[in-house]
Amino acid sequence: MGQVLLSGEQAMAVEGLRRYLAAEADPLFGKAYRDRFMPREVLVPVMRRLAEFGLVSGAVSPAAGGLGLDWLTSLMLFEEVAACSVDLSVPVLINSFGAYLLEQVASSALRERYLPGLIAGTSFVSMGISEPGAGSNVLEVRTRARRDGDHWVISGEKTWISNGGYSDFLICLCRTGEDPRGGLTQILIDRHEHGYDVREIDKIAFNSQSTAQIFLDEVRVPVANTIGEEGGALKRTLAHFEKSRAFVAMQSVGLARRALEEAVTYAGVRRQHGKAIAGHQLIAAMLADMATQVDAARLLVHRAGQLFDAGRGAEMEAAMAKYFACEAAVSVARQAVQIHGGNGVTRDFLVEKLAREAIVCPIPEGTSQIQQLIIARALTGVAAF
């Protein structure tokens, strides 16, 4: 389903990964830990195997111990993970971007200490931006880091933090100065050495992995744990979003593809009015609409990936991919439930879970409304936010 042209190497990598996921990961996420928190010791062996396929490790160059995959290939592999399990795709996504940030910006001491575990699949990072009062507007971050000699003293609360419960360290966006744009700094906080409290958040979906609140109370962290220059985090965070949004878009493509596959199978076997429901024109129309949305979303994501690989700015294209793919996932998952009739709302069928997951997708990494504002700003040059 959904043909795109892959190189021979890409096709082999995607096929090998698909086989592993179907055999090993799908039973874990689809059955044993369906809607149930997966403990770290169960997740680690999966992350280790995924690292061998180029997930997380692909985001880092060979010089720093990674596989150094191009963005497009990384996105193709990521689609397979999301089509297997959106829950599993979250730690892959967060660790990939944590690893990418460490390689690009962190000091060699931080890189040497924290990067190897991430790219081997044995440690976890969290990216702490959002707070109770700072969601769509990053400038409202209040978590405060004040200098005390050669340490930062950090207090505040982060929320919606993916990987929070698994995390060994947090890359925390802190306010270190009064300038709204120039007063934000990223600081690496080690959970075991410096300490922070974590509380899981119960959600409509995505409950096999960790989304958490993180509480920081006068946490002392060496100034050497600053990532990049003091006050320079806003520009970097926004640049980071450009790439990570393409992956969140691909998460939705994977989810929607899975919903389509489930609907096609069901429509072929469920019979009403003397024939398989796939033979009813209104069901066929739904399937055609779903398939077209999945493919259009994937092509938008691939275009963003190609622009990244060409070293070109792709803020608008990544926003389009994120906006379209996440809204497509909602629409496709809903239609997949409809095609399943009453069975579609029971826990015996996967589409019920996919529909709950799809509702979440247009929220993280910039809501659909924020993506619309970014797209319109690129078109008009006028910021509406």
Ligand X SMILES: Cc1cc2nc3c(=O)[nH]c(=O)nc-3n(C[C@H](O)[C@H](O)[C@H](O)COP(=O)(O)OP(=O)(O)OC[C@H]3O[C@@H](n4cnc5c(N)ncnc54)[C@H](O)[C@@H]3O)c2cc1C
Q: Is 364 in the site for ligand X (CB under 6 A)?
A: yes
Helix (H) or strand (E) holding 3: none
Name which of 291 and 360 has its Cβ closer to ligand X.
360
Name which of 127 and 336 has its Cβ closer to ligand X.
127
Name which of 13 and 84 has its Cβ closer to ligand X.
84
Cα 199 from Cα 161, distance rounded (Å): 10
Q: Is 385 in the site for ligand X (CB under 6 A)?
A: yes
**188 to 217: interface string for ligand X, x by CB under 6 A:** ------------------x----x------
DSSP single-letter state for residue 344: G
Token readout for 116 is: 């190897």
Start-to-end Cα distance in the chain: 39
Residue among 184, 18, 21, 167 nearest 94 (CA):
167
Q: What share of the chain is helix, strand, coil (3-state, %, to 5)?
A: 55, 15, 30
Provide the pairing of β-strand 197-200 with 125-128: unpaired
Residue among 136, 132, 178 nearest 384 (CA):
136
Q: Is 222 in the site for ligand X (CB under 6 A)?
A: no
Name which of 19 and 36 has its Cβ closer to ligand X.
36
In sequence order, what E strands does the chain have?
Answer: 125-128, 144-148, 151-162, 169-175, 184-190, 197-200, 211-222, 226-227, 271-272, 275-276
Query: Of 103, 131, 315, 365, which residue is the catalytic one?
Result: 365
Name which of 68 and 135 has its Cβ closer to ligand X.
135
Q: What is the DSSP string of 43-74?
A: HHHHHHHHHHTTTTGGGS-GGGTS----HHHH
Please report how close the Cβ of residue 376 comes to ligand X at its closest, in angstroms. 11
Please report how close the Cβ of residue 22 comes to ligand X at its closest, in angstroms. 25
Residues 128-147 contacting ligand X, CB under 6 A:
128-130, 135-136
Cα 106 from Cα 101, distance rounded (Å): 7
Q: Is 315 a catalytic residue?
A: no
Please report how close the Cβ of residue 137 comes to ligand X at its closest, in angstroms. 7
Q: Is 367 in the site for ligand X (CB under 6 A)?
A: yes
Interface region with ligand X, contact rule CB under 6 A, candidates 30-38, 99-107, 156-164, 280-288: 156-164
Please report how close the Cβ of residue 300 comes to ligand X at its closest, in angstroms. 20
Interface region with ligand X, contact rule CB under 6 A, candidates 1-9, 49-57, 254-262, 360-368: 360-368
Which residues lie below 8 Å from residue 89, measured CB to CB, with a gap of 6+?
78, 81, 82, 251, 254
Q: Is 369 in the site for ligand X (CB under 6 A)?
A: yes
Cα 189 from Cα 191, distance rounded (Å): 6
Q: Which residue has the tokens 């379209």?
A: 324
Name which of 203 and 271 has its Cβ closer to ligand X.
203
Q: Which residue has the tokens 């792709």?
A: 314
Please report how close the Cβ of residue 384 comes to ligand X at its closest, in angstroms. 7
Length of the chain: 385
Residue among 127, 70, 156 nearest 365 (CA):
127
Q: What is the number of the residue whose Cβ is closest to ligand X?
A: 135
Helix (H) or strand (E) holding 31: none
Residues 87-126 contacting ligand X, CB under 6 A:
94
Q: Is 161 in the site for ligand X (CB under 6 A)?
A: yes
Name which of 208 and 211 has its Cβ closer to ligand X.
211
Q: Is 374 in the site for ligand X (CB under 6 A)?
A: no
What are the catalytic residues?
Answer: 365
Q: Which residues bind ligand X (CB under 6 A)?
A: 94, 127-130, 135-136, 160-162, 206, 211, 360, 363-367, 369-370, 385
